[in-house]
Amino acid sequence: MIEILVDEQKHGFEAGVTAAEVLADKDAIAARVDGRLVDLSVRLEESCTVEPVRFGSEEGRKIFWHSGAHLMAQAVKQLFPEAKPTIGPAIPDGFYYDFDVPKPFTDEDLGRIEERMKKLAKKQIPIIHKWFPREQAIKFFSERGETYKLEIIKDLPDKRISVYEQGDFVDLCRGPHVPNTGRIKAIKLLSVAGAYWRGDENNRMLSRIYGIVFPTEGQLKEHLARLEQAKLHDHRKLGPALDIFSFHEEAGAGLVFWHPKGATIRRLIQNYWNREHLAAGYQLVVTPHIGRGRLWQQSGHYDHYREDMYTFMVDNEEYVLKPMNCPGHMLIYRTKVRSYRDLPLRMAEWGTVYRNERSGVLHGTIRVRGFTQDDAHIFCTPGQVEDEIFGVIKLSLKMLRAFGFTDFNVDLSVRDPKHLDKYLGTDEQWDLAEKSLISALERSGLKYHRAEGEAVFYGPKIDIKLLDSLGREWQCSTCQFDFNLGDRFKLYYMGEDGKHHSVYLVHRTVLGSIERFVGILVEHYGGAFPTWLAPVQARVMTVTDKEIGYARNVVRQLVAAGVRVEIDTRSDKIAYKVAEAERLKIPYMLVTGAREAQKQVVSLRRHGKGNLGTFSIEATLAQIGEQANVPG
């Protein structure tokens, strides 16, 4: 007999019982055994803790959607035997699978593949995990001409290769997966695109199919409705349409050109950020855009990210366009001896960095090659760590809420207890760091998900993911311990005992890159920014040329009150002017006709709400002023 903990209660089972039998949960699609994700069919031989994994969780969706990718690949292989599967991961909104095919898939092909997927799902084909000895795996995929799978196996150090079998389809995969294809009830293939193998332009172009699957048809319908809404919020269309930013092929891909309105939004965000950080005790710094290659070798970035860095030669020495701001802050800290009395030292910067992102991953302002990051580093003593982490969380939530975000998912990423040798730093450092992160989260009242094994090799972290108006998750705020840079740059402080001590280093960002954050804001608000953030808060419009003088006087009063205002004196009909202002999502529209000019008032309109009535200039300023301040 073995003891298994389920729902905080211990139960006795015979060794060899499956996770499915232990849970007896019809909604479970996989299980978590002692923190490790496994198939429901896994047999339990020792005492352990077992938890159900359902579709409603992030892990559950990834498992479900990855199973959808396998189902699609099986359908493709049946319909197009010459297709060579490559990889098919789950992504935040579904999955994709890349295939090497003689000619790209068409929309008509997608319809056929989708129908075949539905037939395979109805057959409830068992999805079985198997282990092949390395040579057997090579022989198996060689006989089937699966050259891409062979290339993947070549890069794996494992002596045993994990595969999943469902009927006539076998794929390389670590899993886990749903128990059988019948768990997939709703299927929709969304689009087809080109993608280079392994994202390298020098490799063969593949045909990528995007899709989504759900446990119920209702969930699929809701998702498709959200996708339609998302199209209306797409920042890549709204940004240029609202005159916020543009991209230019002749300048290069992934480089954003900010128009006056976009530059205004950036300035408003940065001014608010600066104000809040100064109030929170941060000191603002500026570091160069380039540096010697040896600086990035010292930081360790050169060895890990060399192919993503822009390099060039100066006086026979290699220089680098700054890919991250961290080394610059380390050099500033090191310019003098720091005492424990100087700590905590909070150093922050809007630092512009450049990364050689693959063209296939560039996406509007969300993923670019040049961006400005709100980086900060906190240098502190061990005893200050928890309060500093709590301060980061408090500041992050305050600022994100000011921009209109109210719902968050929080991840705590810690070491894999079974592979401690993979991580830098001492056990003492990791224990203090993890306990500090947990205590700070509990003080903040945030619910969080503990992700064992998700910490990076140089420290544990907290990720705060915001949910936008369409329920989509965006990673913005991160609070990350770094046990790497402090050691590499030999950062110390003089303690009360008169001895040198290693400084604790916390790397954090609140908004992430301003390019990405503006893109998120455009999609969150559908371009209709709150008044305080709108690049143009009001537009004054004349009915005829006779009111131009009065309209200009109204503009002067608004400008004097600090309102960002435009004037429209064109000879077009007022209905057209109003419609255009609505299209541009300007919060307030002030109509000045003959009657308004005579009474020294304006007809006030609100975007999306229509006519509010007739108001004096003072009353109009009061209405705008109520909305023009940063929330909180």
Which residues are known to be catalytic? 326, 355, 373, 375, 377, 461, 507
Residue closest to 484 by CA, chosen among 518, 460, 513: 460
**Residue 402 burial (CB < 10 Å; 0-12/13-18/19+)?**
middle
Query: Could you give the CA distance from residue 330 to residue 335 in angstroms, rounded to a whole number?
Result: 9
Residue closest to 327 by CA, chosen among 282, 358, 359, 292: 292
First to last CA, the chain: 58
- DSSP-derived letter for residue 287 is -
Residue closest to 577 by CA, chosen among 547, 541, 613: 541
Q: Strand (E) positions, 495-579?
A: 500-502, 504-513, 538-542, 565-568
Residue type, 160: R
Query: Could you give the CA distance from residue 4 to residue 50 in angstroms, rounded to a whole number?
Result: 7
What would the 3-class secondary structure string for 243-267 be? Answer: CCEECCCCCCCCCCEECHHHHHHHH
Query: Could you give the CA distance from residue 211 to residue 490 in angstroms, rounded to a whole number?
Result: 49
Residue closest to 400 by CA, chosen among 310, 526, 509: 509
Secondary element (H or E) of residue 133: strand 128-133
Query: Could you give the CA distance from residue 460 to residue 385 in angstroms, rounded to a whole number?
Result: 13
Structure tokens at 598: 């005579």
User: Is the separation of the CB atoms in 299 and 306 below 8 Å?
Assistant: no
Query: Could you give the CA distance from residue 455 to residue 411 in angstroms, rounded to a whole number?
Result: 10
| Residues facing residue 129 across a β-bridge | 164
Residue closest to 586 by CA, chosen among 512, 507, 518, 533: 533
Residue closest to 452 by CA, chosen among 51, 3, 11: 51
Structure tokens at 232: 């209306």
Structure tokens at 456: 């990076």
Q: Which residue has the tokens 């030292």?
A: 345
User: Is the separation of the CB atoms in 417 and 454 below 8 Å?
Assistant: no
State the chain's maximal CA–CA distance in angstroms: 94
Secondary element (H or E) of residue 372: strand 370-380
Residue closest to 482 by CA, chosen among 423, 442, 438, 441: 423
Query: Could you give the CA distance from residue 30 to residue 67 in angstroms, rounded to a whole number?
Result: 11
Coil, strand, or helix at residue 515? helix
Query: Under 8 Å CB-to-CB from 288, ≥6 apart: which residues?
Result: 322, 328
